[in-house]
Structures are given as structure tokens and as C-alpha cells.
Structure 1
Amino acid sequence: MKKSFSIMLSLVLLLMLALTGCGGGNGEKKAAGGNTEGKVMRVNNSSEPGSLHPAKLQGTHESWPLRHLFVGLTMKEPKGDNGEFEVVGAMAEKWDSSEDKKTYTFHLRNGLKWSNGDPLTAEDFEFAWKYALNPNTASDYAYQLYYIQGAEEYNSSKEKDPAKLKALEDKVAVKAKDEKTLEVRLVNPTPYFLELVSFYTYYPVNKKVQEQNKDWANDAKTFVSNGPFKLTEWKHKEGLKMVKNENYFQKDRIKLAGIDWAMVEDENTAWQMYRSGQLDLSYPLPGDVVGQLKGQNAPDFKIVPEYATYFYRFNTQKKPFTNVKVRKALAMAIERKTITENITQGGQKPAFALVAEGSEDTNGKDFRKVGGDYFKEDIAEAKKLLAEGLKEEGMDKMPKFNIMYNNLDLHKRIAEAIQEMWRNNLGIEVGLENVEFQVKIDREHKLDYDVLRAGWIADFIDPMTFMDMFTSVSTQNDTGWKSKSYDAEINKAKQSSDAKVRMEAMHKAEDIIMKDMPIMPIYFYTKAYTLKENITGVFTPPDEYPELKYAEIK
């Protein structure tokens, strides 16, 4: 997920690399903005964050650095060497739940502080969640709070009267009972709720800071957080610098003095920076590099599971993508194995469904393996469906349209391959349009595209993280597609505490969306990255980018 990057800047960076050689590879330096001598880890965040406010995040270019600045009531703790984790207490030392699993009472630890020294209280959580839900905040991920009673009604309200809007806010069932006690009442039992509160929309926000300065999250000078690191420098479109937060509740576990985040938008240039010693971790990697390192069994190369799906969205409000036969024809006329074997090269699996492998169904089986594939590649059938669909739309031939993707070489190469497959297999002409990542997000939300590259990395380990994205009320749907029957199955799954009922409803919902095909699954991700051999402790959960808080440079 990248933004456009000029050829001239790439050449300048490469020249700089040639001049600097392999120097500076041990990470030994003073952390910017702090007085701690120590080892600073260097990574590439690729794109400029649109925001570093927990309520306003939209993508991994924001959530990756933010996860090192904040922590929620719970957090994921490494358990094993392949991304396995367990959910443990973070700001919450312990919690109680009612017998019906609809009420949780979180008990915060003693002595919690913000990075500026302010005490962190349960009220900061209540304030943050209600701020995200406020319709005027326009939080893309506010729907992740809909598990709480009154949350959806408040967030979806069109009420303009401040008093009436405040009344709706007061009905949101999250309440600070005192400075250390937070009570949350859910609409329905939610088996993954304790993991969900580790997600960034559930992070706290310093109430006093927010009320004094609404733009506090846009500048390192005013930035206040509660995680293992604090922000000390933000040169927009250049980089971020963080230093260890001495007020973090587990500061003794943090071995790094800080993290420096570059913003190099071309993964080939970033890879050269890694090779020259200017980065300690390189992710994402160019596809060709992945193939080479995999073949060489390079000691600094790692591939780990990732609970994520790479897919294309169709704008179902725009002809001829309004026709399901046209959408199915396009989905059936590409060769996914060619893409995974020749372009991505990281052990990705061709995808013929929405939900990736990696979550448990009933009886310990994988949800994806139980559900199986929903369609297959068939060029002859695709030609037939395309002709029928165009005829139904009153068209003699497929009009030229564009594939829009954000600027990353991998996305470009995949788009070019699909462009050629559609030309060869269906005889249609397709243009390519690359845009900055933030532009892509903005146009995606406005349905200002024909066909668009997308990817979804899970927010929590349950099929629902993929499924509720495409409900009629979701702000992440971005296809124009709506289905009452799909919504009904998702609601049924959310309302039941019976695992069998939940899974059956989600399988039915997936069947509905795959028959309508508002999206075209392409492959299930893996996470391929390189890490300098003198660094230990990097944690790679399947639903997040590499986590660096426990990293140590030897």
C-alpha cells in the first residue's frame, strides 16, 4: 500500500546509497528528541500517515506506527515462533464478565501515565470510544465499536440538535465507574471481544489534551500517547522518529532506544536501503527479491502466515459492473497461480473465496477449508457470461475501463498481468491508473473508480473481520453492493454465542457475496520480510505488520 514516487527521487536515493555504501548498519545512535544513548531500529513505513489519531486511522500506513505509540486494555503477547499469540492484560490488569458474557468490567492498573505525565484513567477510554463514535468525527472504523449497546445508534445518527445527540451519546454503554474501573455492556455475546479491545479504535485518548487541542495528533510537539514509544519527530512525507516512553507500564521490557520510520514509497529503493545497512527490516519486499531469497534460504529472510486477502473491488453502481455476470466473467478469466508463482513468489495461495485461511471453525477445523472454494477459473464460461451480461445491459461490447491501484511495484505488476489476461482471455481493453495511497482511499470511499485493487488484513482472528466489512452499513464496503440476506446472516452470526450457529451463518453469508461477486479474490497473503541477523524479538502476529516493541539489537 504505497503512494506515487517520482523516478527522479528514486535515482537520487540510489545515488546516495551508492555513496554511503554499507555504513551505519548496527543501529547505534542517539534517539532523536531523547537523551537516551542506545540502539535505534530503522524501518520503512512507505507512506505518509493521513492521521495518527486512533479514531481516524484508515490503513496500515497509519496503524503500523500507531501500534508502537499506543496500547489498549489488552494486547497480544508472543506465544511461539510463528506469529502465535495470546491476549493478555495491558492497561487493564484484570477483568470480570457477566454470566451471559454481555457485560465486562475492566480494572485498570495502578499508576498508569500518559507520555506527558498525565494520569491515565478509565475516563480516557470512555471518552476515546465515544469520540470515535461521534458522527462528526467521521471515523472509518467506528463500526468496530458497534458491539457496544447504543454505539450504532449514536454513530449512525443524523441528529443535528446537540442536546439530542448528547442524549444518544449517553446511551452508549461504556462507563468509567471510577478512575480505575471501566464497565462495558455489549449488544450480544462476542467471543473475540477481549482481542477486539486490543485493536486501535479501542485505544484511549487523553481527554484533557483532545479538548484543549483538536489537532494534537498532527504534530510530534503536541503528540501524547501511552504505548512503548512516544513520537518526537514527524517530518511529513519524510519520516517519523520515536523514542522509548519512560512512562510505559512495562518500560523495562523495551530494549530499543527508539524507532526511526522512513517513508520511501518504492519497495525496490527500500530494499536497496536495507542491503546498504540503512534499514534493519525490509517490508514489503519486491516480488522478485522474495523469490530469490526464498530460493537461497537466506538467513535474514522470513515468511510467516498472514490472515489477509488480496482482492479487487468492482464498482457495482457503474455499468457494466452493475451486472453480476460481467463481474463473474472477469473473476473467472484470470490465472491466479501465474500471479502467485511468477509475481508475488512468497507462497501465497490462489483465492476463490473472501475469508482467508487462519481462523478456527467448529471442531477445530479451519473456516476456509470447511467452506472450500466458491468459483473456479473457466475461460469458456467467462466468455459466455460476459456476452450474456453485456447483452442484458444493452451493450455490444465491453467498454474500456481502468484498474486503479496505489503505487507499489507489486500492485503494478499484478495489474499489468490481469490487464493482459483479460485482453487475451476475453478480448477486452483495460487501462491502468496508479494513484497515491491516500488518494486511493478517498476515491474508494466515493466509488470513484471502475475496478480497484484492495487488500484486507484482519483486525482480529475470526471470520467476522472479513465478513462485516461488506454489510450495508459498513464504511469499508466501498463497492456499492448491498444485500439484505447478507446483512441478515451477519446479524445472526453476531447475535449468537453458539459457535456452530455463528459459523453456519457466516458460511451462508460468504456464499451470498461470492455468488454476487462485488469483489474478485486473487490470493491469500503471506508475510515475507527481511530482518538483520543481529536483531531478535520481532513479533509477527498474523493480523498485523511486524511488531517491534520487544526487538533487541545485539
Structure 2
Amino acid sequence: MKKALACATGLALLFGILTGCSTSQGTAQPNENSQSGAAAEAKPMVLHWSINSEPPSLDPGIAVDADSFDMIYAAFEGLTSYDLNGELTNATAESFTASPDFTKYTFKIRPDAKWSNGDPVTAHDFVYAIKRNLDPKTASEYAYQLYYIKGGEEYNTGKGSADDVGVKALDDHTVEFTLKSPTPFFRELTFFPTLFPLHQKTVESNPQWAAEAATIVGNGPFIMEEWEHKVKIAFVKNDNYWDKENVKLDRLEISMIDDNNTAFSMFENGDLDWGGYPASTLPPDVIPSLKDAGTLMVASNPGTQSVVFNTTKPPFNNKKIRQAFSYSIDRQAIIDNILQTGVPAAYGWVPSSMGLKPEGFFKEDPQKAKQLLEEGMKELGLTTFPSVTYTFDTTDMNKKLAEALQDQWKQTLGVDVKLYTAELKVYRDMRSQANFDMIRFQWGADFNDPINFLEMFRDKTGGNNHPDWEHPKFKELIDQSYSEPDLEKRKQILLEAETILMEEMPLAPMNFRGNPYVKNDKVKDFVIFPLGGAYFKYASVAE
């Protein structure tokens, strides 16, 4: 493949499609030495991809990480998805209706929707999946995404029953959702894997069904053919998929490469068709030369990178110390010298594109940071600052970021911070179990609404509430927002909630997301979802 890529195209915030220089695909012409035109056309079309690590689970109700989600979107499909224009569209559902007050949604399932084993996809598969994911025994970290459904939270927290959950099959091809309050963005939420259907017989017959290629039954555009753990995954086109005519790839070859320098070298050598997001992370040292060559692209999906503080133990159980560490971060220096992608600095948790307070809630202030540290230590009865560690997952970019933070905290606060790098699975376990002092955390939008960035902190025990932080007024405001039909009033409620979050500072936002990548110019119609992540359905690789 060519190392210099043509047609560099930036992504708009909510427009995730990449097209090549041309939408036409050349057809091999027969000659006297060739077999035939038909034989040439029969050559399999293969996309060579990479991910950073072994996906922990391909169970749509259990998965929480980006690598798993990308694989799930290849093998499964929800009621809705995105088209080549980055617009939300009907998928397994052929149509829908919503009540005028957005408290009831009814979806019609396509009669030709099938599971990869040939069984029909029915409304009962969606009902089963939703109730199963809400079952406390399932321990779905994203169960709270289903709390918009009437009775969902009560069932998940042991205060209600599955029979009271507001989802039911009106017939084999009609599923109805009754919501606890007006939710105008619910159709968009049905694109998220926690609301995907599940093949009940498969799930109930084998607790490890989602861990092996041979036992995964999906309803998406591809079927997993091979899963060599910690090495590679291979997908092939699903002939039972309702829209198979629009699936161009015959095969997806996905290598697991935890070293991003190796992944980029493979891209340069033509062994991979993509380098950087969402396949991997570009090594920071190559970004300047890619920018100079005009081949670097940046996917600007809504998301925020932060430092999360463990608020359950000293010293970060003290608000002033958390503020001190946040106010002493020189965000622009990190963006200019480490990230090098021109992304905006983050002075709030909710992305500025969602419009709560684009100018942010605070600014860096080294002098105030020193004062806050001194006051916080006095409140905790500390004369010397205790040993603390910043934990991050293994990439060169994250290592450089960690070293920059370490240096800034030393220079401004006089605090020696230890660094700990953890393999991705260990890092995720430490994060979910609050086994850290400070930890890197990046959150990308699941749906385009500020509540998606705020409701995770509603309850201390929430699946993605990594600071283990809770605040009664914050919780009251989140609950109030759920039932407020006036959009402007709702916005003010959420603004007040984020104001509390940024005052309490259980996490320190650093930058809004902007993910760099390069691609083989033969790859056409690959979609980066508007909210982030890879979609292979429409992709092709020209000869």
C-alpha cells in the first residue's frame, strides 16, 4: 500500500463517515493468462484491522470497552443504526412510532430479520435481552442505560420485579417500550448494545457463549468465524443478514496488537489497512510527520479525558485537594506537546458541543492550587503529603501524558506522584473496583445528550461511577431532569448538576476527545460512528 494517503478528510462532530476519492471500484479485466472475469470478481474482499487487546466479552449486555463494542457492532444489530451519511436509521426495526409526549415507543421488527443460525429475530428477543440485562444477577455495568424504561431501575436495584419492566412484545414483530418519563432521545439510545436483542436459547444453554466464535449467535452483518484468543479474530459476511446486499466485505481479519508502535509499523508496511483510532492509538512521535505530510485525520467525537480521584479514602476524599490537583494541570501544554491534535482543553465534564456551559466552570490557577492543597491537608490533619499513585493503561500516549502530569504536579504542588502502568484488563479491573488513588478515564458519548455524561455519578454504586462519589443535591437534580418536559428548563437543571460536579471535582477534566488516524486510501465507505467507534458494514477495499 502507499504510505502517502490521498483524500485526507476531517470528521465533523456528529458526522462519522469516511469516503474515498471515488466511490467506484475497478473490475479486473480478463486476459489470455487469466482464468475468467467471474473468477477475478470472486476474489474475497478482505479488510485488515487491529484492536489493542483481547475483548473481555462479546456479550452486548456485559461489554463495557471500546474493543468489545466494535466487535459487537460487527456481529449484532439493534433496532437502529447509522447510515453512510452518519444519520440514525432503522436497522432490525423497519419502522417505529413514538407517543407525542415521548413516553411510549413502538418498533416493528423486520420480517426478514434473522439470527446467524437462521432463526427469526423477534420482539421477544428484545424483551428477553432487556430484562436479562436489568436482572441484578447479570451485573451489567450499563444497566442504568435501561432506567429510562418504566420499572427498569426498580428491578435492577432489587425493589421491583421483571414483570413490572415497561417492555413487552405485542406480537412476534412488535416491541413496545413504556418509559418512566418523557425521553425524546430514546430512539437514539436503542443503538446502544445494552438494548440489543439476544438469542435466548444460546444465552441460557452456555454461560460462556460470548467467549468463543463457535458459540456466538448474532444478528449483525458479520459472523465471527475464528477467535484465536489474544492473537486474532476473523469475521465473514453473514448470509442470513437482512441487508446483506449492502455488505461489501467478505472477510474481516482483526489482529490483537497491544503495542501501538508495532501496529503503526504494520500499517506502514501494508499489513493493516488502518492506523490509529478507532483501531489503535497512533504513537505520539509520528503525529508531527503525518501532519506535515497531510495524511493525518482526526475523528472529533464527543468525549472527555480526565483524571479520576478515588473519593473514598484520603487524601482525595477531601474536595480541596482534588481541586488543587485539577487547577494545577496545564491543559494547553498537554494538548500542544503530548496530544498534538489541536483538541480543546476541557474545563467541564460535559463536552462543549452539548451546550451546557461551553466556556467551562474553572481555569488553571497554580497559586490557588497551592493554597487549596495547604488548606486540604490541614483539614485532614496532614503535615506531609502521603504517597499517591496515578494509574494508566499501556500506550505510549498515555505514558507521556502520565509523565507530564507527574511533572506538573511536582512543579506546582511540590508533590511526588508515583506512576503505575497496567495492562488493559488489569487497568479496567482496578478502575471498576476503585483500586487506585488517581486513574486515567476517558468517556465517549453513548448518545448525544448531556445526561449521558452526568447520570453515571447519580449513585455511588453506579457501573461507571469510578470516583465512588455521591452528592444528594446532584442526585436530586438528575432525577428532576428525567421528568422535566420543558427542554430549556431541563438544560438549566443539568447545568446546575454539572456545576456541583465541577465544584466537588471527583474527576478533573483535561481535554475533549479528538482521535487521530491514518488509512489506506483503498478503504472506502468506512463509518466512524458519530459518537465514536467502528462500523464495518458498508466498508470496502478497492483493488
Fold in common (TM above 0.5) = yes
The alpha carbon displacement at 1:67 in A equals 1.1
Cα distance, 1:291 vs structure 2? 2.6
Aligned to 2:36: none
Say if 2:297 is the partner of 1:297: no
- Contact 1:271 1:282 survives alignment (8 Å): yes
Structure 1: tracts of 5 or more residues without a match: 1-25, 29-35, 80-84, 159-166, 360-365
Does residue 297 of structure 2 align to residue 309 of structure 1? no
Three-state SS of the structure 2 residue aligned to 1:68 is helix
Asked if 1:428 is matched to 2:415, the reply is yes
Give the 5 Å matches for 1:314-353.
314-353=309-348
Aligned pairs (5 A) from 1:23-422? 37-79=43-85, 85-157=86-158, 168-283=161-276, 284-298=281-295, 301-359=296-354, 366-369=355-358, 372-422=359-409
Unmatched 5+ stretches in structure 2: 1-25, 29-41
Mapping 1:364-513, distance limit 5 Å: 366-369=355-358, 372-472=359-459, 473-513=461-501
User: C-alpha distance in 2, partners of 1:493/1:287?
Assistant: 41
Q: In 1, Cα distance between the equivalents of 2:493 and 2:503?
A: 15
Q: Is the 8 A contact 1:291 1:346 kept in 2?
A: no
Superposed displacement of residue 178, structure 1:
1.2
| Matched-pair contact (CA < 8 Å) for 2:307–2:440 | yes
Superposed displacement of residue 78, structure 1:
3.1
Q: Distance in 1 between matches of 2:368 and 2:527?
A: 45
Q: 1:491, 1:137 → 2: CA distance?
A: 25
Letter in 2 for 1:304: A
Residue 349 of structure 1 deviates from its aligned partner by 1.2
Letter in 1 for 2:74: H
Q: Look up the SS of the partner of 2:252 in the other structure.
A: strand
Query: TM-score with structure 2 length normalisation?
Result: 0.89
Supply the RMSD in Å over aligned alpha carbons. Answer: 1.5
**CA–CA distance in 2 between the matches of 1:330 and 1:75?**
40
Percentage identity across paired residues of the two chains: 38
> Structure 2 CA distance, aligned partners of 1:549 and 1:288?
32
The residue matched to 2:302 in structure 1 has which SS?
Answer: strand
Q: Report the alpha carbon displacement of residue 317 of structure 1 after superposing the two structures with TM.
A: 0.9
Q: Return the offset for 1:398.
A: 1.3
Distance 1:98 1:533 in 2: 45
TM-superposed deviation, 1:452:
0.5
1:414-469 alpha-carbon deviations (Å, 9 max, x no partner): 00110011111111111111112221222212211000000001101111111111
Moved segments of 4+, more than 3 Å = none
SS of 1:439 mapped into structure 2: helix
Q: Is the 8 A contact 1:95 1:106 kept in 2?
A: yes
2:517 aligned residue:
529
CA distance in 2, matches of 1:535, 1:220: 26
Aligned equivalent of 1:539: 527
Q: Say if 2:356 and 2:494, in contact at 8 Å, map to a contact too.
A: no
SS of structure 2 residue aligned to 1:475: coil
Aligned residue in 2 for 1:515: 503
Cα pair distance change 1:226/1:368, threshold 3 Å: farther
Aligned length: 498
Deviation at 1:68, TM superposition (A): 1.2
Say if 1:368 and 1:529 are closer, same or farther in 2 by CA, change over 3 A.
Answer: farther
Please give the TM-score of this superposition, normalised by the length of structure 1: 0.88
Q: Tell me by how many angstroms 1:368 deviates.
A: 4.3
Distance 1:441 1:193 in 2: 28
Corresponding residue SS for 2:137: coil
Contact 1:288/1:344 (8 A) holds in 2? no
Question: Any conservation in 2 of the 1:288–1:345 contact (CA below 8 Å)?
Answer: no
Q: Distance in 2 between matches of 1:505 and 1:438?
A: 36
Distance 2:204 2:315 in 1: 48
Output the CA distance in 2 between the equivalents of 1:38 and 1:496.
53
